């Protein structure tokens, strides 16, 4: 198999995932109709499919740790953010769920989603078992949503104030960077499955040979992805907070 063949054939359209996506689209339309912001929702669906169906998913499935990391970042940071943005401005949580509306819980969910699933045992399990993978995917989406709720909640009143939002995002960025640094410099494999992949698709020779991706370098890139591009996402969110802060409405010119 060549690289080209791999990227054209390794799309894993499975029926459960697809039907879930279609169902959620229908549910979104029924729930919000014209009030919603379908572009963001479509974005969320596209990114989700990119993470779960595209060759990225095939690579993340026990072959390449850094592909797993991209998948992880998309699921915990990008998809939930787009989902929250797609909610209509009038949306708010029902009473039992407001329990989650605490910055500390959001922070622990966001940082925990990174740390927890990179404990070697859990990371291995997710890369080998379909069920664990499904649990992982769901939990990442939920934890990511709980994390982003603090800064992207549909109602302004439910969000953190911009300065608090900056502190929230910055500390989360630091906590994830530390994990990234550990992954980058760890001399041992964090997720041993990726060290000796079971070559089900016959692409290991491409990965190790054509792409030159040894397992050490793979883990290093994975750690760097968690460290640098992820921090760039947080940094962008921090700048968005600055923009929100400085564009908050001017008072009436009564003092002038």
Partner 1 sequence: MNEMTTMAELRDVVLDPAKRRHYQLAWLSTVDHKRIGVLYMVTGLFFLIVGGIEALVIRLQLAVPNNNLVAPDTFNQLFTLHGTTMIFLVAMPLLFGFVNYILPLQIGARDMAFPRLNAFGYWCQPFGGILLHFSILAGGAPAVGWFSYAPLSETPYSSSPGVDYWAISLFVLGLGTISFAVNTIATVISCRAPGMTMRRLPLFTWMNFVNSFLILIALPVLNAGLAMILIDRQLDGHFFLPFRGGSAVLWQHIFWAFGHPEVYIVVLPAFGMISEIIPVFSRKPIFGYEFVAASTVAIVVLSSLVWGHHMFTVGMGRALDLFFIITSMLIAIPTGVKVLNWSATMIGGRIRFSVPMLFCIAFLVQFLCAGLTGISHASAALDWQTKNSYYLVAHFHFVFVGAIVFAMLGALPYWFPKMSGRMMSESLGKWTFWLWVIGFNMTFIIQHVLGLYGMPRRIFTYPDIPGWGWMNMVSTIGVFFMGAGTLVLVWNLAVSYFQGKIAGDNPWDAWTLEWATTSPPPHENFLALPPIHSRRPLWDITNPDRPDPIVGDDQVDLPDHNKTGVLAFLFSEVGFFGTLILAYLYFYAHPQAGPGPKELDLPRTLVFSVCLFASSFTFWRSEVALHKQLRGSMLGWLALTIALGAVFLGGQASEYWKLFQTGVDLSTNMFSTTFFTLTGFHGLHVLIGLITLLIFLWMAWQGDSAFAKFDTAFKCVGYYWHFVDIVWVFVLLTVYLLPLLR
Q: Return the residue of 86, 139, 177, 215 that touches partner 1, per CB under 8 A.
A: 177
Residues 108-147 that bind partner 1 (CB under 8 A): 120
- Tell me the per-residue interface mask from 63 to 102 with partner 1, x by CB under 8 A, - otherwise: ----------------------------------------
Q: Cβ(106)–Cβ(149) under 8 Å?
A: yes
Q: Is residue 242 near partner 1 by the rule CB under 8 A?
A: yes
Q: Return the residue of 163, 199, 210, 211 that touches partner 1, per CB under 8 A.
A: 163
Q: Cβ(231)–Cβ(78) under 8 Å?
A: no
Q: Cβ(165)–Cβ(107) under 8 Å?
A: no
The phi-psi region of residue 212 (left if phi > 0; otherwise alpha if psi is between -120 and 50; otherwise beta) is left
Q: Is residue 172 near partner 1 by the rule CB under 8 A?
A: no
Q: Is residue 195 near partner 1 by the rule CB under 8 A?
A: no
Query: Closest by alpha carbon to 20, among 62, 53, 65?
Result: 53
Distance, CA of 213 to CA of 182 (rounded, Å)? 20
Which segment (51-59, 96-104, 126-134, 178-186) binds partner 1 by CB under 8 A?
Answer: 178-186
Q: Return the residue of 186, 199, 210, 211 that touches partner 1, per CB under 8 A.
A: 186
Q: Return the residue of 166, 193, 204, 210 that touches partner 1, per CB under 8 A.
A: 166
Rounded to a whole number, what is the distance in angstroms from the first to the last CA of the chain?
73
- Residue 105 CA: distances (Å) to CA of 6, 96, 111, 236: 41, 15, 10, 22
Residues 2-31 that bind partner 1 (CB under 8 A): none
Q: Is residue 248 near partner 1 by the rule CB under 8 A?
A: yes
Q: Cβ(14)–Cβ(62) under 8 Å?
A: no
Q: Is residue 157 near partner 1 by the rule CB under 8 A?
A: no
Cβ 217 to partner 1, closest distance in Å?
A: 6
Distance, CA of 35 to CA of 20 (rounded, Å)? 22
Query: Closest by alpha carbon to 182, among 118, 125, 127?
Result: 118
Q: Under the rule (CB under 8 A), what is the footprint of partner 1?
A: 120, 163, 166, 170, 173, 177-178, 181-182, 184-188, 217, 220-221, 224, 227-228, 231-232, 234-235, 238-239, 242-243, 245-246, 248, 250-251, 253, 255-256
């Amino acid at each position: 198999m060549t690289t080209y063949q791999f990227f054209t054939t390794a799309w894993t359209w499975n029926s459960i995932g697809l039907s879930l996506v279609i169902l959620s689209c229908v549910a979104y339309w029924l729930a919000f109709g014209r009030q919603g912001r379908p572009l963001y929702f479509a974005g969320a669906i596209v990114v989700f499919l990119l993470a779960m169906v595209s060759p990225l998913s095939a690579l993340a499935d026990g072959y390449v740790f850094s592909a797993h990391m991209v998948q992880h970042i998309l699921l915990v940071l990008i998809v939930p953010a787009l989902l929250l943005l797609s909610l209509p401005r009038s949306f708010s949580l029902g009473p039992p769920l407001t329990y989650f509306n605490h910055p500390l819980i959001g922070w622990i969910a966001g940082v925990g989603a990174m740390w927890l699933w990179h404990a070697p045992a859990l990371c291995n399990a997710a890369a080998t078992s379909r069920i664990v993978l499904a649990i992982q995917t769901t939990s990442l989406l939920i934890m990511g949503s709980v994390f982003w709720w603090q800064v992207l909640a549909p109602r302004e009143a439910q969000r953190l104030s911009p300065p608090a939002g900056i502190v929230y995002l910055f500390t989360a960025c630091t906590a994830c960077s530390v994990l990234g640094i550990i992954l980058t410099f760890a001399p041992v494999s964090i997720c041993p499955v990726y060290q000796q992949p079971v070559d089900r698709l016959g692409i290991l020779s491409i990965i190790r040979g054509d792409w030159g991706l040894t397992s050490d370098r793979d883990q290093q890139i994975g750690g760097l992805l968690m460290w640098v591009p992820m921090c760039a996402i947080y940094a962008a969110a921090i700048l968005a907070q600055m923009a929100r802060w400085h564009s908050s409405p001017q008072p009436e010119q009564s003092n002038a």
